Amino acid sequence: MIAVSVVLLSGCAQSDRPDADAIDPDGQGNTGAYLEHVSSTWVGDVPSDEELLEFGEEACEQLAEGEAQDDIEVFDDDDAGGEQAVENTRAVVEAAALSLCPADAD
């Protein structure tokens, strides 16, 4: 009975994630890969997909403006998991640069 519950619960968790096409209907970026990377490497309580996308969009804007990856700030410490802000910022910026930002933002 416990094994069945674990299987059912894990299936529900995956189906709760929004479809990448619903988030990115124009196909401008690979939001599915971005969300998967950031949510799997996030330290602390993971924000909603919408919040993660806002963080990624902010990172893309700063990258497009020529900001160095190490200098990018996309959220307050409270949003980023408090003490883990550096690690969470790095996860957002790296994933955004690889999967979310337009090709000409590199």
pLDDT, one tens digit per residue, over 14-34 is: 334 344 444 444 455 689 999
- Residue-wise pLDDT for 65-81, tens only, equals 999 998 998 876 555 55
Return the SS3 of 19. coil
Measuring CA to CA, which residue among 87, 17, 12, 104 is closest to residue 53?
17
Enumerate the domain spans of the chain: 19-105
